Structure 1
Amino acid sequence: MVRFKNRYFLCEIISDDSRFQQCLDERAVHNTVKNVIARMHGDFGLACCSIAFSVKYLNAYTGIVLLCCRKDFHRLLWSSLPFITYLESRNQRYPCSFNTLHVGATIRTCQKFLIHYNSNQLLALLRNCTSEADRQAIQESVQSCMFVEEEQFHSKDEESDDSMQMA
């Protein structure tokens, strides 16, 4: 059996238009990226990237998108992303650009990077904060990003293992 290797692109969609978040959906991102690949690399590039290309995750509020494609052709996708200048949705064009944050081999590595990236962004906001109420809200957000839940989960597992060994 053969395992097909993929590459995952964690990107941030940057736009100045406030209406942009309301129209952002997976189909619009998928079609836009495929159109840009076709424009940059022609039919061959489109055919290569279309084999396993998909939008795995999209957060319209933060503008974070996770794209997936085959490892063999990930450079075609990577080289096309800077040429996206607009996103078309519901017959409207919204100017935007894609900022590639991370390229990973698994979704898990992209998730870890995103957590680290978001906590760094929150810490940067904390440094630039002026009021005490804002500072407190950002500190709570930073603390909620930490892996405290996993530590509690592992300690519960250890307790249940100890109780099973005693029985």
Structure 2
Amino acid sequence: MSRTAQAPITQADPRIPFPSTTEALVCRTNENLFVHEHGQNSPEDIRRVQRAKAACRGCPVAEGCLKWSLANPELTPTGIWAATTAKERKTLRNRLRERLGTDWVGVVAKVDRASSRRRQAQSRPAAAEAAPRAHPMFSSPARDSITPEQQRQNRLVLLTAEYQHRTPRPPSP
């Protein structure tokens, strides 16, 4: 009986997304520079690793790359990722586990989401001040949120209209 063994497909941890950019990154244009296996310690290997690490230090997605490579050890067992070797990533994972607990990936993802929300909240007021506000009558509820003061004014208008509709008017002479 023949057995065809297939290795299970390892899925990336969805809590830390793979970094994306439209820029041409060195790791995508010169992949061989980032290949590094355990035990490659020749002077040429060491120079190549140093060049790869230098390229990573100037990369716009290095922080996201490091988080992703740390969160996915099965997918990054070798190579240079975010200026780190496999041995360095293992050390970093152990430190994170000691500092943040066994679900350190969840902790990092939660902090990233909170930071992202804060950045979005901070960027909204600046955009709102830069552009003139549309008149409330012509603004789109999907686009412009209504302030508590506008809510109070709208309620007052509705109550006044309801009161006038229910109150009988005196006959005109």
TM-score (norm 2): 0.27
Structure (1/2) with the larger strand percentage: 1
Larger Rg: 2
